[in-house]
Amino acid sequence: MEDTTELAPAVRSILSTARERASEGRSGRVEVDPRDLRAAFDRAEADGRVPVIAEVKPTSPTTDGTREDDPVALAEEMVAGGAAALSVLTEPVHFGGSVETLVRVREAVDVPVLRKDFVVAESQLDAVESDVVLLIARFVGDELSDLLAAARDRGFQVLVEVHDREELAAAVDAGATIIGVNNRDLAKLAVDLETFESVAPHVPDDATLIAESGIGSPEDARRMRAAGADALLVGSAIMDGDVEANARELTRAENEAEAEAETGAEAEAENEADAEKPT
């Protein structure tokens, strides 16, 4: 079992609640025919978009207030803004999520949907169908291999979240092929993009690598991509304000950088031409 002494109080509360919910589930085992996450990322790349998993997150312990909009409408705006996939919170106590919301969102969109929750027991996998489930290496500890196998046996794709190289090694040993590196420190809740940059070089080349947390601008998006991220998981930066516009800004971050570079090169060439003109 995870030693919670080094976790922030809010995280300890989340984990405690997750354990209390460990017996939740439907009356039967779920079987999933998932939408392919890797293929969704590839389609985004082919379209010139940064692959982004946009998160439908009504609230969280690290944000102020609650977004009251219809989550289905928000999800549709995210997809319209270019999101390759969606993440839907189903944790009810700290994040205001629900499995009902995930069902509604998944029925409304045609992109893969990640269930964002804090699964610590196999029974929780049967709470709802999704295309991808999250397993947090630090939360499940030695149970990671068994939970990963149980999720895959049901048809789920599995995103295994890590925070450091030790957890990465555990994820790789367990057979994880979709790995997320979370930039948020679970002890202080501070965000540092260098976390991803320090862990990413050690991720196997054949794994799908996702940068999570702290990505708040096109510059951050480009930084994570330059460090090796195949995709980005973004919550608050998209949820705060105009959801569709925010999603479009991040998914088009690399296009904007190329346009700026071209504009700069053209300006430099013009300056050089002007300098060569006889006076």
Reply yes or no on whether 271 is catalytic. Answer: no
Q: Single out the catalytic residue among 129, 161, 167, 244.
A: 161
Reply yes or no on whether 116 is catalytic. Answer: yes
**Look-up of token digits 């509360």:** 13
Reply yes or no on whether 161 is catalytic. Answer: yes
Reply yes or no on whether 57 is catalytic. Answer: yes
Reply yes or no on whether 166 is catalytic. Answer: no
Q: Single out the catalytic residue among 60, 130, 183, 213.
A: 213
Are 2 and 173 within 8 A, CB to CB? no
Q: Single out the catalytic residue among 55, 91, 143, 244.
A: 55
Are 237 and 250 within 8 A, CB to CB? yes
Radius of gyration of the chain from Cα atoms?
20
Are 124 and 117 within 8 A, CB to CB? yes
Six-digit token pair at 108? 């409304």
Q: Single out the catalytic residue among 116, 143, 167, 183.
A: 116
Q: Single out the catalytic residue among 2, 57, 167, 244.
A: 57
Q: Single out the catalytic residue among 60, 87, 130, 182.
A: 182
- DSSP annotation of 254 reads H
In one-letter notation, the amino acid at residue 105 is V
Six-digit token pair at 83? 């999101």
Q: Single out the catalytic residue among 77, 129, 212, 249.
A: 212
CA distance 232 to 239: 15
Annotated catalytic residues are 55, 57, 116, 161, 182, 212-213
